[in-house]
Structure 1
Amino acid sequence: MGLFSKQQSYLGIDFDKDSVKVVELKNEDGRPRLVTYGYLDQEIERRKLGDEAGGRNEHLAITKLITQVCHQAKTTTNKAITALPAYSVFTSILNLPTLSKKDLASAVKWEAKKVIPLPIEDMILDWKIISEDVPVTPREDTEQETETEEEVEEEKITARRFLKIKPSKAAKQYTKILLTAAPKDLVKQVIEIFKAAGMNLLSLDTESFALIRSLVGNDRAGLMIVDIGSIVTNISVVANGIPILNRSLDIGGLTITKAIANSLNISLARAEQFKFDIGISPDQHGQGNIPKTIEGSIQPIIDELKYSLNLYKSQGQKPIEKIILTGGSSLLLNLPEYLAGLLDLKVYRGDPWARVIYPEELKPVLDEIGARFSVAVGLAMRDIE
């Protein structure tokens, strides 16, 4: 739906092989205003279960989906920002001695070889300075200093790029760096898709930063963002507006739907309806087959949340104050209350439209679809901040 006349604006495009979400925002005195939005999600019965043929045919299909959604939404610009899948992006916080710009670039590349578990020549590196001249003082932390190579490698893989920063033995001035790396082949594929769709791709962002823009804003508290999609659940621990721990699970809403369908011997479409109509019991004592099936299906997500919280806590970081839920499957009835009871933390669904100007009459519709648009909104906000 087109809402405003054509002006300079940006498209945030969040896509996978089954769905596309598009949000167009324009800069209005430093604040994002909604221009239009659109989405397409394949019918659940049409989803291909299991492995799918990749390659060029899949890329053409995605290109057509993006073009179709933009046409239906009557977007007014081709300037786009998109994000790479969270599971394909490696991030790490580096503490490096204060150096010249040239020497710092060399140091970052050298450190990247240590923390990225893939050949560095196959990756595209990006980094930015988070803070400069950070004093690092000595600590008694002999356990970290005596880790074996096997333990370090296991931690890198298991903790998904969350590495404890080792302080030096003498107080020095350090520069804190956020390192991001992505496979070159994947970046090339995304660029080709957007070029074929006639888009001017301004930037490849990360999903975690997009979610921080749309759901967190200037909040510097320690918090967790849990994005429960159809296929994958992404977990980000955020402190001072920076994602310092990112984890991904191959479990999402479709996992729950399939479990219900198998349990009741019904179609996926009917199971999907039951899932959202009945939901989960907030007191952790599911009554009936469906709540119990849902509880069993999301148990791996709960286990991962507990693990991530404990892992983060063990690093001596600021406490986690809250958990923000997003993604289409976060709309599961009573899910925030259920998780709050299990984790003893404040849990709520995030509102990606909270920092966006839009007509009041659209609020009921935007509230209903908001959880699915959090990444797209954050992407469109990137050059408006």
Structure 2
Amino acid sequence: MATRSVAIDIGAATVRVAEVEMRGGNDPRDGATLTAYAERPIPAGVLRDGEIEEPGVFAGVVKEAVSAAKVNAKKATIAVGHPSVMVREVDVPSQPIDKVRASLAFHVQDSLPMAIDDALLDFYPTQEIEGQGGTLLRGLLVASPRDLVRGVIRAMEGAGVGLAHVDHAAFALWRSGCRGELMNANVALVDVGAVSTKVIVSQQSRPRLVRVLPQGGLDATKAVASAFKGTSVDAEALKRQIGMNANVGPEQRPVADAVAHVMGPLVDSIRNTLVYFASSNPGAGAERIVLTGGGAYLSGFGQALSSATRLPVMIGDPFAGSAVGKKVDAASLAGREAELATVVGLAMGGAS
């Protein structure tokens, strides 16, 4: 039986709303259909450091996006992906998942970077292993500041949106990106957003590591604007067109240098994350990188990342093996499919 789910992705500058229909099968994501989609820009100053500063204005943007998508948002899945949200692999005694979640605070309180009373905890199981004291359940612990999640929930309530589930953006990215042949591979999913970059390492269809790096494509836009301070230029367009390309003329060199100056350290951080995981998990290191987010289209970034990591890099497509419904303007999404990886993955999770 077909099921539909609505998801809302809150980006640094854009609210995206998607509805996905899945029809079941061994992997319901195969053959899924994007039945509705809309996006609306978030005015400057409404969000600050990932937190909602102007809830009234923000609620208006969400309402407008939901209305444009023409979906029922009484039950929608949303995501958190702020750098303050900790995701860490842990082992806990094996027991039914409801009991695991109920006892998480007892097992992990000494390893949290925040007071246990200030944290909302969740657990994503990946496998059972044998430990010295018996069978253990290995998985990813998610610890989010309670106030951060409450702020998002209040804002959604103000927009008239009911919550079906609060997910971590990294799991949404894994869900939309780790499919088909990638399910049986060791792959790094790298989503370069405006203000942060998410790195997810998946080993044989199991997410093993999540890192949120506090750098993104907006840093490059600001660097280009600064390089041309006092002149009127479209810094965002120049960033995308020229990017980190080394083979440019003297007129374009200031742009390429400015972008490389701020995006080079991000490339290094991604490489270091993958090196750390590979050294800690022999034989499980990433064999390729799937790049999503707006930064995936930054000219020269994929090449720089491939050179630094010595891994092949491909642009992710959340619609691979899926379809776009007749009510969706497919032409408007052509060439920027990777920007929708989070919202599509959120909706896929809500419908599963």
Sort the TM-score into its range (normalised by shorter chain).
0.7 to 0.9
Of 319, 335, 338 in structure 1, the residue corresponding to residue 301 of structure 2 is 335
User: Structure 2 stretches of 5 or more lacking a match?
Assistant: none
Q: Deviations over 1:47-66 (max 9, x none)?
A: 359968976x6122221111
What amino acid sits opposite 2:90 in the alignment?
L
1:111-122, aligned counterparts within 5 Å?
A: 111-122=107-118
Of 275, 281, 293 in structure 2, the residue corresponding to residue 310 of structure 1 is 275
2:168 aligned with 1:206, yes or no?
Answer: yes
Aligned counterpart, 1:40: 40
1:36-185, aligned counterparts within 5 Å?
A: 36-42=36-42, 47-48=44-45, 58-98=54-94, 104=100, 108-132=104-128, 134-136=129-131, 168=132, 172-185=134-147
2:159 aligned with 1:197, yes or no?
Answer: yes
1:269-284, aligned counterparts within 5 Å?
A: 270-281=234-245
Distance in 1, Cα, partners of 2:4 & 2:73: 6
Aligned counterpart, 2:10: 15
Q: Give SS of 2:318's match.
A: coil
Q: Give SS of 2:262's match.
A: helix
1:258-269, aligned counterparts within 5 Å?
A: 258-265=222-229
Deviation of residue 269 (structure 1)?
A: 5.8
Q: Give SS of 2:147's match.
A: helix
CA contact (8 A) 2:13 2:41 kept: yes
Relative to the length of structure 2, the TM-score reads 0.85
2:339 aligned with 1:372, yes or no?
Answer: yes
CA contact (8 A) 2:47 2:54 kept: no
What amino acid sits opposite 1:35 in the alignment?
T
Distance 1:268 1:302, change over 3 A: farther
Q: Deviations over 1:312-360 (max 9, x none)?
A: 1221241211111111122112322232122210111100111432259
What amino acid sits opposite 1:295 in the alignment?
A
Distance in 2, Cα, partners of 1:12 & 1:127: 21
Deviation of residue 301 (structure 1)?
A: 0.5
Q: Deviations over 1:204-226 (max 9, x none)?
A: 00001100111112514222122
Report the identity percentage.
Answer: 26
Pick the structure with greater CA Rg: 1
Aligned residues: 341
Relative to the length of structure 1, the TM-score reads 0.78
Of 212, 215, 227 in structure 2, the residue corresponding to residue 251 of structure 1 is 215
Distance 1:225 1:121, change over 3 A: same
2:323 aligned with 1:383, yes or no?
Answer: no
Q: Deviations over 1:26-69 (max 9, x none)?
A: 23354421211111225xxx6359968976x6122221111011
Q: Give SS of 1:319's match.
A: coil
CA contact (8 A) 1:10 1:77 kept: no
- What RMSD, in angstroms, separates the aligned Cα atoms of the two structures? 3.1
